[in-house]
A and B are shown apart, each in its own frame.
Chain A
């Protein structure tokens, strides 16, 4: 995957959703 900031953004979203 291209490191365009989106990878990190999806990781943050997933973290936030898994640990609300």
Chain B
């Protein structure tokens, strides 16, 4: 839960990215959220050292989707011992691109008056799902058929007790759009689309059976390396 709830989008809870013992007393925990069409890195900085910390700045390494700070890290007053400050850093997707492993890995450098510290974190790929990700129905059918079935990624979402309506609503809260719905052979088939910030389209079919809490997700994408991350993100969205 947390800050992203107003739009219904999935937001992971904050995790410790940099423990104080690895950063001369600076502890950083954080999460990522998409709010009002903009991506934010929401961080808590805690001073667990015995002296005041000042002069904070942040930099990202090249990453798969060109994420970069869109503004300086604003820590307006010195951080006293035992003090925590919450900062919401807006991010752009116009930074330098380099494919990372895993794809959603982000390497970060943070400096203060004491030293420079480095850590890695992973962002939910769903924060890259843009608001205009509903694909035209004719384009969906054509694209689905164009992408060979052997590059389809299948994934089981187990023990999910949501109705097809609830699934559609929950996914739409994270910019996954229902292009069409059909009932066939006692299954509800949902045809879904999303678009990533780098304009990669992802098409999906989710099979929901009313008597079975295990749903089958099939994903087709012209950049098939993103499919497994999208599958995992659907599971996180539907479970939260």
Residues of A at under 8 Å CB distance from B?
Answer: 6, 9-11, 13-15, 17-19
Complex contacts, B22 vs chain A, CB 8 Å: none
User: What is the CA–CA distance of A10 and B190 in the complex, to the nearest angstrom?
Assistant: 10
Tell me the nearest residue of chain A to B189, going by C-beta: A14
Contact with A along B203-222 (1 / 0, CB 8 A): 00101000000000010000
CA distance A14 to B190 in the complex (A): 9
Interface of A is mostly: helix
Q: Nearest CB to that of A2 among chain B residues?
A: B137
Q: Known: A10-B182, A13-B144. Is A18-B189 also a contact (CB below 8 A)?
A: yes
CB atoms of A19 and B137 under 8 A apart: no
Known: A18-B187, A18-B189. Is A11-B141 also a contact (CB below 8 A)? Answer: no
Q: Please give the residue numbers on chain B whose beta carbons come within 8 Å of chain A beta carbons, in ascending order.
A: 137-138, 141, 144, 180, 182-185, 187, 189, 191, 205, 207, 218
A5 to chain B, nearest CB (A): 9
Q: Are A6 and B141 in contact (CB under 8 A)?
A: yes
Cα distance A9–B138 in the bound complex, in angstroms: 9
Residues in chain B near residue A18, CB distance under 8 A? 184-185, 187, 189, 207
Top 6 A-B pairs ranked by shortest CB distance? A14-B182, A18-B184, A18-B185, A10-B180, A14-B189, A14-B184
- What's the nearest-Cβ distance from chain A to residue B17, in Å? 41
Nearest A residue to B186, CB-CB:
A18
Across the interface, name the chain A residue whose C-beta is closest to B145. A13
Residues of B within 8 A of A14 (CB): 182-184, 189
